[in-house]
Amino acid sequence: MSAMIATRDAYGQALVELGRSDSRIVALDADLSGSTKTAQFAKEFPDRFFNAGIAEANMVGMAAGLAAGGMIPFASTFAVFAAGRAFEQIRQSVAYPRLNVKIVATHGGITVGEDGGSHQSVEDLAIMRALPNMTVLCPADGPETAAAIRAAAAFDGPVFVRLGRGKVPVIFAEACPFAIGRGVTLRAGGDLTFMGTGLMTAAALAAAASLAGEGIDARVLHFGTIKPLDRDLVLQAGRETGAVVTAEEHSIIGGLGSAVCEVLAEGCPVPVERIGMPDVFGQSGPADALLEHYGLTSTHLVAAARRVLGRKG
């Protein structure tokens, strides 16, 4: 059994550590600092924390101004409000002028759980990926989140980081390296490739382990960066394994699955199965039950692997 850590907890901790070493780091929130974990930063650096109240658009606008004034702002709220309510402020005030603002959106995806479909963002990666100048990260676990937050701080430009609500299994080592734009190979294999992001990468690893029992050798790639996508790694896997299953806690439209299909269609057309939310909104329920209900488990990945192998020429 691996340890379980919520990515938002890793964020809260990493942000405090960054704040200690760089006085340009500031944090903003919109009345959710206890949930997004910026409260830890607020406690240690009250002068560098700005609570906008329930006013996400103003929060992003203020972050843009802080960045234009030389600060490195991290602005947080739930993914649905970050990518949704504040979308045009992100577009016009942050992405268009390529300002150094980090949007760290917690509570992405359906594992928000009981709050229901109004609070479960299934579209944030798609929306953010479509913005020029935007970098989009979606780490898989606690250690990778900490590394991604450090990488985002060191990178000069707008970054959207999608994190989750619940605890997820740790799959990376404590001192995990993170390079924006680079995918990682978590398991070698030649029969097909699972390409995961966020918490679905752990499910892909479990699916690969179960297929190995039947003598099927699945490669597992993780994409902590959705944009810019690691094209070379995707194309290499397409060429070498000839079949791909993508896995994300997001709509199958516009996220990792779409990004992978775009790359493969242009560079190495192979059969692909996309696992994700099938163009529907979520609903209330416990996180695990929702993953099961919408087909986002390792069992569903195994079934998708069989389908894609059946389509392989």
Partner 1 sequence: MLNEQTVRSLEAQAKSLRMDILKMLHASQSGHTGGSLSAIDIMTALYFHHMRHDAQRPDWPERDRFVLSKGHAAPALYACLAAAGYFPAEDLATLRRLGSHLQGHPDMKKTPGVDVCTGSLGQGLSQAVGLALAARLGGGRHRVYALLGDGELQEGQIWEAVMAAAHYGLDNLCVIVDHNRLQIDGFIEQVMNVTPVGDKFAAFNWHVLEIDGHDMAAICRGLAEAEAPERPTVLVAHTVKGKGVSIFENKAKYHGVAPSDEELRFALQTLGA
Ligand X SMILES: Cc1ncc(C[n+]2csc(CCOP(=O)(O)OP(=O)(O)O)c2C)c(N)n1
Rule CB under 8 A: which residues touch partner 1? 29, 31-35, 39, 51-55, 57-58, 80-81, 84-85, 113-119, 283-286, 289-290, 293
Q: Per-residue string for binding with ligand X, 73-102, x by CB under 6 A?
A: --------x---x-----------------
Residue 185, contacted partner among partner 1, ligand X, none, CB below 5-8 A by kind: none
* Closest distance to partner 1 from the beta carbon of 55 (Å): 5
Task: Give me the half-sphere count of Cα atoms (radius 13 Å) on the Cβ side of residue 57.
Answer: 6
- Quick check: helix, strand or coil at residue 103? strand
What are the C-alpha distances in Å from 148 to residues 11, 26, 27, 201, 246? Answer: 9, 17, 16, 16, 21
What are the C-alpha distances in Å from 260 to residues 122, 129, 221? Answer: 17, 13, 12
Residue 293, contacted partner among partner 1, ligand X, none, CB below 5-8 A by kind: partner 1
For 118-128, b where at least 16 C-beta lie within 10 A, e where not — what string? ebbbbbbbbbb
* Closest distance to ligand X from the beta carbon of 35 (Å): 8
Closest to ligand X by CB, 18 vs 52, is 52
Residue 174 is among the residues annotated as catalytic for this protein: no
* Closest distance to partner 1 from the beta carbon of 94 (Å): 17
Residue 181, contacted partner among ligand X, partner 1, none, CB below 5-8 A by kind: none
Q: Which of 17, 56, 114, 292 is catalytic?
A: 56
- Quick check: helix, strand or coil at residue 165? coil
- Quick check: helix, strand or coil at residue 187? strand
Residue 84, contacted partner among ligand X, partner 1, none, CB below 5-8 A by kind: partner 1
Question: Is 129 a residue that touches ligand X (CB under 6 A)?
Answer: no
Q: How far apart are CA 201 and CA 298, in angstroms?
A: 10
> Cβ neighbours of residue 138 under 8 Å, at least 6 residues apart?
108, 125, 161, 162, 197, 198, 223, 224, 225, 226, 248, 256
Closest to ligand X by CB, 35 vs 185, is 35
For 279-311, b where at least 16 C-beta lie within 10 A, e where not — what string? eeebeebebeebbeebebbbebbbbbbeebbee
* Closest distance to ligand X from the beta carbon of 164 (Å): 17
- The tokens describing 267, both together, are 């560079």
9-38 residues in contact with ligand X (CB under 6 A) are: 31-32
- The tokens describing 178, both together, are 């993170």
* Closest distance to ligand X from the beta carbon of 207 (Å): 34
Closest to partner 1 by CB, 55 vs 268, is 55
185-224 residues in contact with ligand X (CB under 6 A) are: none
* Catalytic positions: 56
User: Can you give the binding site for ligand X, defined by CB under 6 A?
Assistant: 31-32, 54, 81, 85
